[in-house]
Amino acid sequence: MKIFRMITFQYFNAFTNMALDEAIMEFVRKDISQPTIRFYGWEPSAVSIGVFQGVRNEVNLDATKNTGVDVVRRLTGGGAVYHDRLGEVTYSLIAPLEMFPTNIIESYRVICDDIIFALKELGIDAVFSPINDILVNEQKISGNAQTRRNGILLQHGTILYQVDVEKMFSLLNVSDQKISDKLIKSVQKRVTSVVDQTGASIEDLKKALVMGFKRNREIAFGDYSEQEKSRAQELVKERFNNEIWTFRL
Amino acid sequence: MMKTNSITRKFGKLLCLDVTYGDRIESLKITGDFFLHPEETLDQIVTELTGVAVPIQKDVLIRKTRYILDSNEAEMIGISVDDIINTLEEATQ
């Protein structure tokens, strides 16, 4: 069994976060880096959009600029996400494809089961909801997205610690609907968070996630290599903090 | 005369088409919150569909688009080839 490197929670800006994922993918593919599970936050808060989304359709660019919120296009599909600095824990899992089921939904399920285990440790009963969500009583607590390239799987996702729906709506464009109290209440009913469900602290959530991802894997705690950090900074310039990439759709 | 249309449909995931067309499809943008592995396959699909005659020949385009997916061993999640081509037909009517 291959040993995973686990990198505990650190803050980075949006561009570096996404670039680290891609850099690690490259080094895992070359067998220079171990399969990796990393936990991270977003400093400053950011909006990430899916690889196939139109940035102007999804993001209120005036609002993000005025509030100092970064905007980044991910490598993965899925929807636009507001990543509040204090509101979530994000993870990425990067590993050779052969370590996970070929069936994409099944591979989502395997990884999401680790998050469900972590939430259970906090007293939260959550379930996997295909394609890529984790729900508590029909309310979303975690969204996940995956890409597969050159034999490497990357899945990243957020676990909501606390949600500010009004802030989220001020930054994301909600299709053809004005932000109304009714709409905010409607979304509040569809989204939940650890704070909504328990009295757990964000540190409790981080510890539980480490336990969840460790339980079926051999893990060695580690950090980013100098090569990975250096490559990530190249990718920040070439791609993730580059308007050609961000505004390509 | 050129027409433009923007159409969004919800399948398993959202699919948005922005199309400019006259006798042929002049430009096409496919966006949404779906998944497609490998992601670069979408550029090939857009290239294939750009320039085709309007009204579109749905069966032919479904076959050609499926071929692109098969030849790239690509997997689309949240939308299907039929969803793309049916929405394209709707957008160009």
pLDDT of res. A169: 87
DSSP structure class, residue A191: B
The residues on A that touch B, with CB distances below 8 Å, are: 50-54, 57, 75-80, 104-105, 131-132, 145-149, 175, 249
| β-sheet with B14-21: strand ranges across | B3-10, B14-21, B25-32
The two three-digit tokens of residue A36, written as one number: 């990796």
The domain tally of chain B equals 1
Residues B30-58 have pLDDT tens digits of 999 999 999 999 999 999 999 999 999 99
**What per-residue confidence (pLDDT) applies to A190?**
86
pLDDT in tens, B4-31: 999 999 998 999 999 999 999 999 999 9
The CA distance from A108 to A6, in Å, is 19
CATH number, domain containing residue A123? 3.30.930.10
- Identify the domain containing residue A150 by its residue range: 4-246
How many domains would you assign to chain A?
1
- Residues with Cβ < 8 Å from A49, sequence gap 6 or more? A55, A58, A59, A71, A72, A73, A74, A79, A80, A81
What range does the domain containing B56 cover? 3-91
Q: Which residue, among A21, A25, A48, A52, would best test binding to B if mutated, counting the most B CBs under 10 Å from its CB?
A: A52
Helices A14-29 and A226-235, packing angle to 10 deg: 120
Of A50, A75, A147, the CB nearest to B33: A50
> Which pLDDT value is given to residue A186?
72
Low pLDDT (below 50) residues in chain A = 176-178
The reply to whether residue B42 touches residue A105, judged by beta carbons under 8 angstroms, is: no
* Interface A-B: count of C-beta contacts within 8 A: 58
* A149 → chain B, closest CA residue: B38
Mean pLDDT in residue range B73-92: 96
Q: Which pair of tokens denotes residue A218?
A: 């051999």
DSSP A240: I
Q: Which of residues 3-42 of B touch A (CB under 8 A)?
A: 8, 12-14, 16, 29-39, 42
CATH number of the domain to which B83 belongs: 3.30.390.50
Nearest chain A residue to B36 by CA: give it: A77
Q: What's the pLDDT tens digit per position in A36-82?
A: 999 999 999 999 999 999 999 999 999 999 999 999 999 999 999 99
pLDDT score of A189: 77
Tell me what pLDDT residue A184 has: 64
Residue B55 at interface with chain A, using a CB cutoff of 8 Å: no
Give the pair of three-digit tokens for residue A148: 């597969």
